[in-house]
A and B are shown apart, each in its own frame.
Chain A
C-alpha cells in the first residue's frame, strides 16, 4: 500500500470505467459517501465496542483503490484520497471528442485507454454527437482541434476531384 505522504493525484491511475469528468465526480461522491459511512460506523463501534462494519464498494471504486494500491480503511488516508480526487477532478486534462454516431461504452473505454496510454494517464473525455461528420472523430484538445472526420477528409480531397474532372474534360 502507498504511504499517506505519497498520495498524490498526479500519480493516480484512473480505472477503465471512468471515462468522463462526470464518472470521476461520481467516484469522488462515492468516496465521500463511503468515508461518511465508515466514520459513522467507527464512532458507533467505539460506543458499542463492536467491530467496525466496512460498507460495500462499487466495482469501479474497488478498481480505483486496487490499481492505485490505496487503503481506504484509515480515516486520515481517506481524507487525503478524497482531497486528491477532488484535485484530480479539477486538474485532469479533458479532451473533447465528437462522433457521428452515438458511442457505446466499450468504444469509449477503448478510446480512453488509448489516450491514457499514449497522451496522458489521466485524460478525461467529453463526448459529443454530430451526425454531419458521417464517420471518424472530431477531437478538441485544450489548444488544438483535430478534425479526423470523413467530411473533413472529403473536403480536403475536393481539389483532387476538381483536378480529375478538369483532366477528364481536357482529355475529351
Chain B
C-alpha cells in the first residue's frame, strides 16, 4: 500500500483515469492474489522465524538442563551427605539404645531360665529318687510273685510230665492194638477182595457169553437181507437134509 502512496497525482483527470485504471488493474481477483501472496510470504517468514526460534529455544533448554542437572546434583550430593551424617548418627544412637535394651532383657531372661532350670533339676532329682525307690519296690514284689509262679508252674509241669508219660504209654498200647486190628482187617479185607474177585470173575465169565452174544445180536441185527443169507441157509439145509427127508417120509 505504501508503494501506491508514493505515486504522485499529476492532475485530476489523469488521476481519475489512473484511479479508474488502477481500479481496473487492481480488481478483486488481483487483490485476492496479492492477499494470498502476502499471506504465503507472512507464513514463510513466520515459519522461518519459528524454526530459528525453535532451534534457539532447544539450545537454551539443553543448556538450562545441563546447568540445572549439575546444580541439582551438587545440591543433592550436599543434602545426601548431610542427611547421611545425621541419619547415621540417629540410627547409631537408636541401635545402641535398642542393643542395651535387648542385652538387659536377654540377661534377665537368662537369669530367669537358669533359675528355672535349677529348680527343675532339683525337682527331677527328687522325682528320680522317688521313682527309683518305687521301682525297687516293684521289682522286689515282681520277683516274689515270679518266684511263687515259678514254683507253681514247676509243680504243674511235673504233673503234666507224668500225665504225658501216662498218655504216651496209653497211646503206645492203643497203637499196638490198632496195629493188631489193622493186621486182622487187612487179612480179612484181602480175603474178601480175593473172594469178591473170584465171584466177579465167575459172574463175568457166566455173563460174558450172553453179553457178547447180545452185542453180536445187536450189532448184526439188520445187517443181513434174505438174499445174502440164502447160500448159508441152503448149506445148512443140505446138512440137515436127510433128517428132514426122514421126518417127512414118516
Contact = CB atoms under 8 A, between A and B. Distances in A.
A106 B227 contact: yes
17 contacts: A101-B225, A111-B234, A134-B221, A134-B224, A137-B233, A141-B248, A142-B250, A143-B250, A144-B243, A146-B240, A146-B243, A146-B244, A148-B233, A148-B237, A148-B240, A151-B217, A162-B205
A107 B241 contact: no
8 cross-chain pairs, A with B, having the tightest CB-CB distances, nearest first: A148-B236, A158-B209, A141-B247, A107-B226, A135-B224, A154-B213, A161-B209, A146-B240
Given A118-B237, A120-B245, A136-B233, A161 B212 contact: yes
Contacts of B3: none
A146 to B, nearest CB: 5
B229 interface: yes
B226 A93 contact: no
Task: Tell me if B's interface is mostly helix, strand, loop or mixed.
Answer: helix
A143 B243 CA distance: 10
Contacts of B226: 99, 101-104, 107
B8 interface: no
Contacts of B1: none
Interface residues of A, number: 41
Interface residues of B, number: 35
B79 interface: no
Contacts of B234: 110-111, 114
Interface in A99-141: 99-104, 106-107, 110-111, 114-115, 118-120, 123, 131-132, 134-137, 139, 141
B147 to A, nearest CB: 78
Contact of B220 (A114, A118, A134, A142): A134
Interface centre among B209, B220, B226 (most CB of A within 10 A): B226
Contacts of A106: 227
Nearest to A100: B224
Contacts of B206: 162
Contacts of A123: 248
A1 interface: no
B34 interface: no
Contacts of B20: none
B213 A139 contact: no
